[in-house]
Amino acid sequence: MLVGHSRTMAAHLWQPINNGGHMDTVDRVKFLRIALVAVGLIFAVGVYPLTIVWPAGWAWHATGQSMYLQMILGIYATLGVFLLIASRDPLANRNLIWFTVWSSIVHGGIMAAQSIAFPEHLGHLLGDVPALLIVAVVLALLMPRREA
């Protein structure tokens, strides 16, 4: 019984995407809220553990304590909290969401260039670089388009 209910729920959730690839504003906001919660939680509490378990893909220091890491974790944790708040009413928080999109593209692009320029950081091309670009793409695609 539970399996059948789960399949029905999954079909309902993905129905807008299977419906010719078009989502209306209500569907976009529904998925955007889910994405904002996921990204907000990862930014708020998930990045630091990733720097511990996979430093080659997530930490930009060789060993020991890094003042840079503490600063960037503080910035991302703060952004994560605000994304969680924004998930309550994404349309009222468009600027924050677009800031997250564009800052993720810029940050990911800079990190990609640095990873290529400094081979000891190539692991970031499989870690934080694609993660930020995925965040940017997902949030940008889910943002409702303004009505003309």
| Three-state secondary structure readout of 16-36 | HHHCCCCCCHHHHHHHHHHHH
What pLDDT does residue 43 have?
A: 98
What pLDDT does residue 56 have?
A: 92
What pLDDT does residue 4 have?
A: 53
As given in the structure block, the two tokens for residue 74 are: 């503080």
Assessment of whether the complete model's pTM goes beyond 0.85? no
Looking up tokens 């930490």 gives 59
Looking up tokens 């930020």 gives 132
Cα separation of 6 and 109, whole Å? 39
* Residues 105 and 113: beta-carbon distance below 8 Å: no
Q: Tell me the pLDDT tens digit for each residue of 4-63.
A: 544 444 444 445 544 556 789 999 999 999 999 999 999 999 999 999 999 999 998 767
As given in the structure block, the two tokens for residue 86 are: 């924004």
Q: How far apart are the first and last CA of the chain?
A: 45
Q: Tell me the pLDDT tens digit for each residue of 81-128.
A: 999 999 999 999 999 999 999 999 999 999 999 999 999 999 999 999
As given in the structure block, the two tokens for residue 36 are: 């904002």
Q: CA dist 114 to 61, 109, 121, 125, Å?
A: 13, 9, 8, 10
